[in-house]
């Protein structure tokens, strides 16, 4: 007994030791993660090098004062919902910042991509070498230099200045990519007296070009960022929370992405410099943007902000509804059809611009802000209830304003048919042979419908003997009456069940209403005279058939006898 107790203790101790080791392993794993977690109120007053992830959790607050924070590639600072980052006189930067230039794709003289060289240090006979960005080339591009139009190819372009240009302090080089392809530029070199001076493209003076390249680190803001008198360089800024910038410089950190309708950004006395796209802020339809008058954007052809929407679609009750939308950005007239689910994605569901805060340098904008003012027009919306050869027009609506809602339901100007009653016209509880039935339906919709019904014997589900598909035209707000005969040759109590036949074009069977209605019970009786007569008729038929058969036999025999006599005329005489 004692040995058994000892063995049990050994087993229990072994299990406890194993569980304890599991706990140690789990804690060690958590401690070895690259994440730096901020769970309380923390303040940094010295520079930091971030290699990995700094995460401010719910309830955490990180304040950085008078410091330079340098991020290594693929590092990030993440602010969870309920977390707060405060920057005061601080600079966020990275080991590498984007330095290439990229055009907008325009080739006219005013909007053409242009770089400008200071030539005051050179007299003549120097060479300019342009190098394209990685994964791009100059094939099919054009350079405009000193009234010359030059063809560019491959990834490098060279041009030699041989004339004395000492009187020209600035050499303007216009660039145009093939077709509407934006041209990309990495470096510009000047070779003079055997010496090569190489410049990053973005370090030169330029027009109608934007910064291009890769940003090393990310600011992911689900909570709140508040920054005062600070500089953010080369950051990829993504927010579903709130950003407040007061007297800040955002250098090569645009566009700031507001990826939620509840996200917001407030900019006061702030400069956005060198966005990597043709806008400084990209927002959702309902994101909040507060851009003060003393805030400046990247300028040139880069707009202050764009609002975009993606995956927006129209929902119809029927398939193959044809419609048009006028007023979309960059699309004169958009036409499409609803699919088998009654859905049609606007522009295929692709992301599209619905608002632009124009750059102050923009010369073609009439107003400071352009907003989508699009109209939906239904072109063809036909079903079995309003066929093309009927007096009823298209269902749906024209002139409907397209809103920012992700789902636009088009249910205007459609019928909605419901049963009111189904009864014998004379309210008979007994019937012989046939009775007249009266079905009443109401149209609670806003468009007329020409409907039909089909009826069944309620007890058996068999087709009832009625007129073929009784029907009626019902105007909106009106009650339609369907009058038809119900015939029955069987005695007994029975009810009539009638169903509204809905169009096969609608997606859901009850989209336009419908349903079924059952009549009161009718006691069917059989007419006794008709019953007696029903016995006589079969007897008469049998007698008639008998007479016909006997007559046929007699006639057939006579015909045979005549034929025999004709063949052998002496037969009768010999007898």
Give the tens place of pLDDT for each residue, 416-435: 999 999 999 886 778 899 99
Give the H or E element holding residue 488.
strand 479-488
| Nearest alpha-carbon partner for 117 in 104, 108, 130 | 130
Tell me, what's the pLDDT at 349? Answer: 96
pLDDT band at 572 (very low <50, low <70, confident <90, very high): very low
Tell me, what's the pLDDT at 32? Answer: 33
Task: Give, in order, the Cα–Cα distances in Å from 371 to each of 284, 376, 547, 556.
Answer: 13, 16, 94, 98
pLDDT band at 213 (very low <50, low <70, confident <90, very high): very high
Give the H or E element holding residue 564.
helix 528-567
Distance CA 23, CA 121 (A): 70
Tell me, what's the pLDDT at 545? Answer: 53
Look at residue 17 and tell me whether its pLDDT is greater than 60: no
Distance CA 408, CA 349 (A): 13
Q: What is the mean pLDDT of the chain?
A: 87
Look at residue 343 and tell me whether its pLDDT is greater than 60: yes
pLDDT band at 333 (very low <50, low <70, confident <90, very high): very high
Q: How does DSSP classify residue 462? A: P
Residues 6+ positions from 369 with CB-CB distance below 8 Å: 355, 356, 357, 358
How is 341-390 classified by DSSP, letter by letter? TSEEEGGGG--EEEEEE--TT-SS-SSSEEE---EEEEEE---TTS-TTS
* pTM exceeding 0.85: no
455 by Cβ neighbours in 10 Å (0-12 / 13-18 / 19+) ranks as buried
Give the tens place of pLDDT for each residue, 486-499: 999 889 999 999 99
The predicted model gives 453-480 an average pLDDT of 96
pLDDT band at 162 (very low <50, low <70, confident <90, very high): confident
The predicted model gives 319-327 an average pLDDT of 97
Residues 450 and 386 sit within 8 Å (Cβ to Cβ): yes
Residue 151 or residue 120, greater confidence? 151
Distance CA 240, CA 286 (A): 12
Residues 29 and 11 sit within 8 Å (Cβ to Cβ): no
pLDDT band at 247 (very low <50, low <70, confident <90, very high): very high
Residues 297 and 280 sit within 8 Å (Cβ to Cβ): yes
Distance CA 304, CA 322 (A): 36
Tell me, what's the pLDDT at 566? Answer: 40
Tell me, what's the pLDDT at 179? Answer: 86
The predicted model gives 454-478 an average pLDDT of 95
The predicted model gives 7-22 an average pLDDT of 43
Tell me, what's the pLDDT at 119? Answer: 84
The predicted model gives 295-313 an average pLDDT of 97
Q: What share of the chain is helix, strand, coil (3-state, %, to 5)?
A: 15, 45, 40
Give the H or E element holding residue 28.
helix 2-31
Distance CA 416, CA 211 (A): 57
Give the tens place of pLDDT for each residue, 38-77: 999 999 999 999 999 999 999 999 999 999 999 999 999 9
């Amino acid at each position: 007994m004692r040995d058994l107790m000892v063995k049990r203790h050994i087993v229990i101790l072994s299990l406890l030791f194993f569980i304890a080791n599991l706990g140690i392993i789990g804690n060690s794993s958590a401690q070895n993660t690259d994440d730096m977690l901020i769970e309380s109120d923390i303040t940094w007053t010295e520079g930091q090098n971030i290699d990995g992830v700094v995460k401010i959790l719910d309830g955490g607050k990180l304040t950085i004062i008078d410091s330079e924070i340098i991020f290594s590639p693929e590092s990030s600072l993440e602010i969870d919902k309920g977390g707060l980052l405060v920057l005061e006189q601080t600079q966020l930067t990275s080991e590498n910042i984007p330095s290439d230039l990229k055009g907008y794709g325009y080739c006219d003289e005013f909007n053409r991509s242009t770089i400008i060289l200071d030539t005051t240090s050179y007299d003549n006979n120097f060479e300019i070498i342009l190098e394209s960005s990685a994964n791009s080339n100059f094939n099919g591009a054009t350079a405009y230099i000193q009234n010359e139009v030059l063809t560019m190819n491959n990834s490098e372009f060279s041009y030699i200045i041989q004339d004395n240009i000492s009187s020209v302090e600035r050499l303007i080089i216009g660039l145009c990519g093939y077709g509407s392809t934006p041209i990309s530029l990495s470096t510009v070199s000047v070779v003079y007296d055997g010496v090569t001076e190489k410049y990053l493209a973005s370090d030169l003076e330029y027009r109608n070009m934007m910064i291009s390249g890769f940003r090393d680190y990310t600011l992911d803001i689900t909570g709140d960022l508040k920054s005062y008198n600070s500089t953010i360089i080369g950051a990829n800024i993504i927010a579903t929370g709130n950003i407040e910038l007061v007297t800040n410089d955002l250098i090569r950190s645009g566009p700031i992405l507001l990826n939620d309708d509840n996200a917001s950004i407030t900019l006061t006395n702030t400069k956005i410099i060198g966005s990597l796209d043709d806008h400084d802020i990209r927002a959702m339809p309902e994101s909040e943007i507060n851009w003060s008058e003393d805030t400046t954007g990247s300028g040139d052809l880069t707009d202050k902000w764009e609002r975009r929407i993606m995956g927006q679609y129209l929902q119809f009750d029927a398939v193959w509804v044809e419609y048009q939308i006028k007023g979309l950005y960059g699309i004169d007239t958009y036409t499409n059809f609803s699919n088998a689910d009654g859905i049609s994605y606007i522009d295929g569901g692709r992301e599209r611009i619905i608002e632009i805060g124009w750059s102050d340098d923009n010369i073609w904008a009439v107003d400071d802000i352009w907003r989508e003012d699009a109209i939906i027009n239904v072109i063809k919306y036909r079903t079995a209830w309003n066929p093309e050869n009927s007096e009823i027009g298209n269902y749906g609506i024209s002139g409907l304003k397209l809103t920012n809602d992700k789902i636009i339901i088009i249910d205007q100007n459609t019928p909605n048919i419901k049963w009111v009653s189904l009864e014998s016209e004379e309210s008979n509880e007994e019937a012989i042979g046939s009775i007249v039935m009266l079905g009443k339906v109401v149209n609670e919709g806003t468009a007329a419908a020409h409907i039909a019904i089909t009826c069944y014997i309620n007890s058996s589900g068999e087709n009832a003997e009625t007129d073929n598909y009784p029907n009626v035209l019902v105007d909106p707000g009106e009650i339609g009456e369907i009058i038809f005969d119900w015939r029955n040759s069987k005695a007994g109590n029975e009810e009539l069940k009638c169903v509204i036949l809905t169009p096969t074009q609608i997606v859901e069977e009850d989209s336009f209403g419908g349903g079924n209605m059952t009549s009161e019970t009718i006691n069917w009786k059989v007419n006794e005279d008709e019953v007696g007569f029903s016995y006589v008729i079969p007897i008469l038929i049998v007698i008639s058939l008998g007479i016909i058969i006997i007559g046929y036999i007699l006639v057939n025999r006579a015909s045979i006898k005549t034929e025999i006599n004709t063949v052998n005329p002496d037969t009768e005489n010999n007898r």
